[in-house]
Amino acid sequence: MAKTTLTTSGGAPVPSNNTSETAGPRGPVLMQDYQLLEKLAHQNRERIPERTVHAKGWGLQGKFTVTKDITKYTCAKLFSKVGNSCEVLSRWSTVAGEQGAADAERDVRGFSLKFYTEDGNWDMVGNNTPVFFVRDAYKFPDFIHTQKRHPKTNLRSPEAMFDFWAAQPECVHQVTILMSDRGIPVNPAHMNGYGSHTYSMWNAQGERVWVKFHFKTQQGHKHYTNAEAETLIGKTRESYQEDLVNMIETGNHPKWTFYIQVMPEKDAETAGFNPFDLTKVWPHGDYPLIEVGELEMNQVPENYWSHVENAAYSPSNKVPGIGYSPDKMLQARVFSYADAHRYRLGTHYEALPANAPKSDVHHYHKDGSMRFFPPQTGHVDAYYEPNQYAEAAVADPSVAEPPLAISGDADRYVQEDADADYVQPRALYAEVMDQGERDRLHHNMAAAMGPCSESVTERWLAVLKRVHPDYEAGVRRALKEAGDVNAVPVTDETPQHANEPAK
Ligand code: NDP
Ligand code: HEM
């Protein structure tokens, strides 16, 4: 078969792709060898900013199928019929590491799904944990600074991490999960995904419910211990990508069952806890899991760059029938992601192949970087709205969310009951984990804290003591076993948490 002719980006045939044009056989390169300049210039532009968080990631393409009827909760077209399906793009990630970070590091994993529905893209941008470290967006950039490199040493800083956490008792739930067995999944196929926030759904009658999203692995949970992960990273830093490619190539497609928890709109006022607090779960006993469908990831994207690196997920991508909630963190994320994409990818990032909806798109956004697609307003003269053209795109009031009653004085409200922050981590520690899991938790945490100063160590141990005395004692013991000299007993003088109201 004849080979394809190599061309310039302008389409003209190229005479050579390996020998520069020079003045004589040993002479300098001529400036008119534009293809060489072009080739070097392109190489210089092959990188864009990496994601400020979740920079290291792995993605697959697949399909979501509805298996149960939830039309009493939502009018979203995707869920209108059992058997409905749509294409999905997943991206899993670690949070703190840079693009070259090893896959098997202890960290929270991102769990992003883009559902290309007939009504536009619905993005579920979650984590492999049902809760988060903080519940106010003011704290997010500071939290991330503690996870990234120290400005002077350019090293990760356990002192900064535990200093911050010790001042935020609300984070102990998430830190417990992070330091538990689930902190290093073997690969994304062996972990759950959670929307974490409370979202909403509304049905054809305009009735709203609050919902939580859960994607439960059908492969079962599998995790590495610290020692196993260290050995593995010594052999390969890309274990997740290798596992996922191998799984797909051997026809072993990972699957998840999608469930929702549902809370009637009015229950939010009487639930006994704040259902919009991202540091809390909704107990399964009170809000059981309701099966919705199955996610199957079955293809490695042809090009990692165009489908995984260029993927732009955002909680602001929602479809009629699915909505936000008053969760303050969610409100901030609605802004933050699209802003990040405009910076990282460009103004019209949604036209890139990974992000382009599979449904019709009609909008009046005009010009700017990456505006290579034709006008999409339904009529060539309709580049503004309102206009006189019958075919031009107009808004459809029938897809509006039902009105939400909100009351209260505008103010800055600090969490009223700090004790509540210890209840759920206590249940996880004392009731969900067995003794083996608790022992590993103690040692994992001690390993992470090892280099911390005495004051940070003691402040953090005081937080653990309020979760459960055995938790504090177990971590203190593990610190001693590891030879950490800072581990002295907690006394009544141990400082209170900076953000906790005085008792
Ligand atoms: P349940 O006994 O009904 O649920 C316990 C949950 O804990 C299960 O979903 C299980 O996940 C999960 N789990 C087990 N080990 C870990 C771990 N190391 N890290 C994170 N999750 C783990 O009890 P409740 O609903 O009353 O919740 C009790 C506690 O369980 C909560 O305070 C919370 O800490 C934790 N939890 C609760 C979740 C919820 O949505 N209610 C979700 C996840 C955790 P799986 O079934 O996949 O094995
Ligand atoms: C990525 C901000 C909380 C999950 C990102 C990015 C930003 C960001 C700016 C990079 C986006 C990009 O460049 O593509 C924030 C802010 C938060 C917050 C401001 C709080 C106020 C959360 C929470 C979750 C989460 C609570 C999970 C429940 C993710 C995931 C990604 C991500 C999964 C990677 C998306 C991908 O795969 O491309 N976040 N985040 N974030 N965040 Fe958050």
Q: What is the pLDDT of residues 224-259, one digit of tens each?
A: 999 999 999 999 999 999 999 999 999 999 999 999
Mean pLDDT of 191-213: 98
Enter the pTM of the model.
0.95
Q: Let me know: does 358 contact 87? Beta carbons within 8 Å.
A: yes
Mean pLDDT, rounded, for 312-319: 98
Instruction: Find out whether the beta carbon of 114 lies less than 6 Å from any atom of ligand 2.
Output: no
Name every residue whose Cβ is closer than 8 Å to that of residue 236 and which is 6 or more positions away in sequence.
242
Residue 416: per-residue pLDDT: 63
pLDDT, tens digit, 9 for 90 and up, residues 148-174:
999 999 999 999 999 999 999 999 999
Cβ distance 280 to 423 under 8 Å?
no
- Residue 494 belongs to some domain of the structure: no
| Spatial distance between the Cα atoms of 488 and 458, rounded to a whole number of angstroms | 8
Q: 296, 63 in Cβ contact below 8 A?
A: yes
Euclidean distance between CA atoms 433 and 37, whole angstroms:
61
Q: Candidates 88, 337, 344, 345: which one to mutate for ligand 2, based on the most atoms within 8 Å of Cβ?
A: 337
Report how far residue 38's alpha carbon sits from residue 41's, in angstroms, rounded to the nearest whole number.
Answer: 5
pLDDT the model gives residue 478? 98
* Structure token pair of residue 251: 């026809």
Closest ligand to residue 57's CA: 2
Q: Name the residue among 258, 260, 318 with its Cα closest to residue 115.
A: 318
- Tally of structural domains, the chain: 1
pLDDT above 70 for 290: yes
Is 44 a domain residue?
no
Ligand 2 atom nearest the C-alpha of 52 is 10
Residues making up the chain, counted from first to last: 503
**Average pLDDT of span 485-503:** 40
Which tokens hold the place of 61? 């393409």
Residue 89 inside a domain? The answer is yes
One of 121, 127, 128, 187 is an active-site residue; which one?
127
pLDDT at 488: 44
DSSP state of 132: -
Radius of gyration of the chain (CA): 26
What is the helix (H) or strand (E) element at residue 123, kind and residue range? strand 120-127
Helix 420-427 and helix 454-467, axial crossing angle in degrees, nearest 10: 80
Q: Is 259 annotated as a binding residue?
A: no
Q: Specify the DSSP element, H or E, that contains 176.
A: helix 172-179
Least confident of 27-36, 43-52, 66-75, 413-422: 413-422
| Greatest alpha-carbon span in the chain | 86
Report the share of the chain in percent with pLDDT over 70. 96
In a domain? residue 350: yes
Strands 290-299 and 255-264: antiparallel
Task: Check pLDDT > 60 for residue 501.
Answer: no
Asked if residue 308 lies in contact with residue 352, where contact means CB atoms within 8 angstroms, the answer is no
Does residue 131 surpass a pLDDT of 50?
A: yes
Give yes or no: 348 in active site: no
Which ligand 2 atom lies nearest to the CA of residue 194? Answer: 28
Note the ligand closest to the C-alpha atom of 141: 2
Asked whether the beta carbons of 364 and 371 are under 8 A apart, the reply is: no
Instruction: Supply the pLDDT for residue 375.
Output: 82
Compute the distance between CA of residue 137 and CA of residue 180 in angstroms, rounded to an integer: 25
Domain of 191, CATH number, reads 2.40.180.10
In a domain, 118, yes or no: yes
Sequence-separated (6 or more) residues with CB below 8 Å from residue 265: 207, 208, 209, 210
- Residue 179 domain-assigned (yes or no): no
The residue nearest atom 4 of ligand 1, judged by CA position, is 284
Structure tokens at 67: 């298996």
Q: What is the DSSP letter of 432?
A: I
Residue 21 has a pLDDT of 97
Q: At what angle do helices 158-166 and 140-147 cross, to 10 degrees?
A: 150
Rounded-to-integer distance, Cα 21 and Cα 222, Å: 57
**Is residue 426 predicted with pLDDT exceeding 60?**
yes
Supply the pLDDT for residue 483. 81
For residue 262, tell me if it sits in a domain. Answer: yes
Q: Residue of the nearest CA to atom 12 in ligand 1?
A: 432
Using CA positions, which residue lies closest to atom 26 of ligand 2? Answer: 132
Candidates 189, 194, 182; CA nearest to 229 is 182
Let me know: does 69 contact 293? Beta carbons within 8 Å.
no
Q: In which element (H, E) is residue 291 found?
A: strand 290-299
What one-character-per-residue DSSP string does 89-154 give?
EEEEEESSS-TT--TT-SS-EEEEEEEEETTEEEEEEEESSSS-S-SSGGGHHHHHHHHSB-TTT-
User: Mapping DSSP to helix (H, G, I), strand (E, B) and coil, where does residue 197 land?
Assistant: coil
Distance 285 CA to ligand 1 centre (A): 11
- Judge whether 127 counts as a catalytic residue: yes
Whether 54 lines ligand 2, by a CB cut-off of 6 Å, is: yes
* 399 exposure class (CB count in 10 Å sphere: 0-12, 13-18, 19+): exposed
In angstroms, the Cα distances linking 93 to 12, 34, 302, 355, 373 are 41, 40, 19, 18, 31
Ligand lying nearest the CA atom of residue 340? 2
Hey, whose CA ends up nearest to atom 33 of ligand 1?
A: 428
Q: Lowest mean pLDDT of 265-274, 357-366, 482-491, 492-501, name the range.
A: 492-501
| Pair 130, 116: CB distance under 8 Å | no
Contacts of 267 (CB under 8 A, 6+ apart): 210, 275
Instruction: Give the domain extent around 216.
Output: 57-146+186-354
Residue of the nearest CA to atom 40 in ligand 1? 281
pLDDT of residue 418: 79
Confidence of residue 453 (pLDDT cuts 50, 70, 90): very high
Which whole number is the average pLDDT over 82-107? 98
Does 52 contact ligand 2 (Cβ within 6 A)? yes
Asked if the interface predicted TM-score (ipTM) of this complex is over 0.85, the answer is: yes
Q: 127 CB less than 6 Å from ligand 1?
A: no
Contact 215, 194 (CB under 8 A): yes
Report the distance separating Cα 20 and Cα 29, nearest Å: 7
| Residue of 53, 99, 345 best suited for mutating to test ligand 2, as the one with most atoms within 8 Å of CB | 53
Q: Tell whether 275 is covered by a domain.
A: yes
Give the C-alpha separation, 200 to 211, whole Å: 5
DSSP-derived secondary structure letter, 221: -
